[in-house]
Structure 1
Amino acid sequence: MKLYLDPGHGGSDPGAQGNGINEKDIVLDIARHLRDILSSDYKNVDVMMSRSNDRTKGLQERTNEANSWGADYYLSIHCNAFNGSAQGYEDYIHSSLSDSSQTAAYQDIMHDEITNVNELRNRGQKKANFHVLRETAMSALLTENGFIDNEHDAALLKSPSWRREVAQGHVNGLARAFNLERKQDDPSTIFRIIAGSFEARANANERVAFLSSEGIDAFVDSITISGKLWHRVQAGAFSTRENAENHLNTVKNAGIEDAYIVSESS
């Protein structure tokens, strides 16, 4: 399966703006997570990104590239803005397509999986005459992941763990829609549950104490990222992703909703 992954805007075009953040930065982060999850977890998936950094790229250049490459699916990632009061998630296919089309069937699956995890108001499945939906030779979907100028949605958009979760929702949809096959776990890979990452050691210790009160073993693992020391709370390590995901649900059910999995080679 060949996926053309298109984080909207970029470079001189910031996209929607609000609450101190730019659309171009939010959607790039979601798209990078999406690419990385697909690459690490699924077989026979090729991903081409319209941009993997903050650069300017025209709409025609994007669709021409996808068409020339022969992509099987075009996925464009965006977030919205209106007047500060609108909020929620919606997605689009081209307005010329019927509800019985293959593209609409893909949209049904993608919408179901993304709204299952994104904690946003569901604004529904829609159609529009957007360039990236009209000029693509393959099925295409454009997702609008919250309103950047809405205080509720922006609080989610600012959360790194939320952006990872939304990326995972997109991946779940792609896996269902295209019957993607998961890779077998590499015996050398360890899947760690991260239940918080803090600049202050005291905050990390507080999280460990809370998890202990919920019957979940955890400890603080300090790590340097980009020259900055972080105190990471680890709440389990597993040799299979399935077991890690099961324990992740336990940690989230205890109230740590921003917990996530990192995979590391031993």
Structure 2
Amino acid sequence: MKLYLDPGHGGTDPGASGNGLKEKEINLDIALRIRNFLTANYENIEVKMSRTNDSTKSLQQRTNEANNWAADFYMSIHCNSFNGTANGYEDYIHNLLSDQSRTATYQDTLHEEIIKINGLYNRGQKKANFHVLRESTMDAFLSENGFIDNAKDAALMKQTSWRQKVAEGHVNGLAKAFKLKKKAGNPTRIPSDPNKLFKIIAGSFQSKKNADERVAFLKGKGIEAFAITTTISNEQWYRVQAGAFSNRKNAEEHVNVIKKTGVDAFIDS
């Protein structure tokens, strides 16, 4: 099963905001948790995300990417906003779809599983002419996970444990809707916090020129890198970072790629 997972907004588009929170950040955190929980516990699942960091991407770019990849399902993650008094959870499919459509059946399943554990007021299942629901060629679903400008909902959004529960609800719905098979002999596993990154360090220099030369060398080998400043023993150093991964295995594989260029590298977690 190929899932296109779309954390709404990002980069120059922050989405809604309220109570010290930005929608783009909540959306991304929940989506990363969905991806990590899903891939850790189920077989034969591929996940492509519209973004994995705070980057800008148009709606057209997102649906084009999902369509070109031939995803089986499009899932868009959002938070809501109104006037500070509205609260709760709701989800959407395209407004031209019938209640008997396959997409509506998926929505029924997802809605039931998400609302079981997210602790939010149930605002129901809805339909709308949103771009990502209209322009995606596969079944598409959009969830609005609480109202960011509502104090009660926002208090939940600030809790890591709540965002994890929301992610699990989405995964439970996907697993049930698509009859996903759990990994053999693997009890349900909650991955480490997706905001924890394993950074690849490919050199530390007291000279910025030397750091820039290392960056240029790596880029010449097709490896993205940049120099960052850090203080070690009260002295300024320039460290070359060549990638950051939420999965340690992926980070280790990238270290090996860098080492093949003759550059020593290590993981700074």
TM-score (norm 1): 0.71
When residues 95 and 119 of structure 1 are mapped into structure 2, their CA distance, relative to the original with a 3 A threshold, is same
Counterparts in 2 of 1:106 and 1:59: CA distance versus 1, 3 Å: same
Deviations 1:195-249 (A, max 9, x none): xxxxxxxxxxxxxxxxxxxxxxxxxxxxxx78xxxxxxxxxxxxxxxxxxxxxxx
Residues matched between the structures, number: 198
SS in structure 2 of the partner of residue 75 of structure 1: strand
Gaps of 5+ in 2: 198-247, 250-269
Cα deviation for residue 190 of structure 1 reads: 10
In the alignment, the residues of structure 1 paired with residue 94 and residue 84 of structure 2 have an alpha-carbon distance, to the nearest angstrom, of 26
DSSP 3-state at the match of 2:75: strand
User: Map of 1:4-83 to 2, 5 A cutoff?
Assistant: 4-83=4-83
Correspondences of 1:226-265 after superposition (within 5 Å): none
Alignment partner, residue 113 of structure 1? 113
2: CA distance between counterparts of 1:107 and 1:164?
Answer: 20
Q: Is the 8 A contact 2:41 2:188 kept in 1?
A: no
Deviations 1:51-71 (A, max 9, x none): 000100000000000000000
Q: Is the 8 A contact 2:76 2:143 kept in 1?
A: yes
| Distance in 2 between residues matched to 1:90 and 1:33, nearest whole Å | 19
Please give the secondary structure, in 1, of the residue aligned with 2:149: coil
- 1:250 counterpart residue number: none
**Structure 2 CA distance for aligned equivalents of residues 166 and 126 of structure 1:** 19
TM value normalised by structure 2: 0.70
Q: How does 1:175-254 map to 2 (within 5 A)?
A: 175-185=175-185
Distance (whole Å) between structure 2 residues aligned to residue 148 and residue 19 of structure 1: 7
Query: Which amino acid in structure 1 is aligned with residue 174 of structure 2?
Result: L
Task: Give the C-alpha shift of residue 115 in structure 1.
Answer: 0.2
Percent identity reads 64
Secondary structure at the aligned position of 2:113 is classed as helix
Residue 117 of structure 2: SS of its match in structure 1? coil
Q: What is aligned with 1:99?
A: 99
Question: Is the CA contact 2:175–2:181 (under 8 Å) kept in the aligned structure 1?
Answer: yes
**What is the SS of the residue equivalent to 2:36?**
helix
- Per-residue CA deviation, residues 2-33 of structure 1 (Å, 9 max, x unaligned), is 00000000001110100000000001000000
1:117 deviation in Å? 0.4
Shift of 1:184: 1.5
- Equivalent-residue separation in structure 2 for 1:39 and 1:173 (angstroms): 14
1:86 counterpart letter in structure 2: A
SS at match of 1:116: helix
3-state SS, counterpart of residue 137 of structure 2? coil
Question: What is the aligned partner in structure 2 of residue 234 from structure 1?
Answer: none
Distance in 1 between residues matched to 2:188 and 2:50, nearest whole Å: 31
* Offset at residue 185 of structure 1 (A): 2.9
Superposed CA offset, 1:118-139 (max 9, x none) = 0000000000000000000000
- Specify the alignment match of 1:154 in structure 2: 154
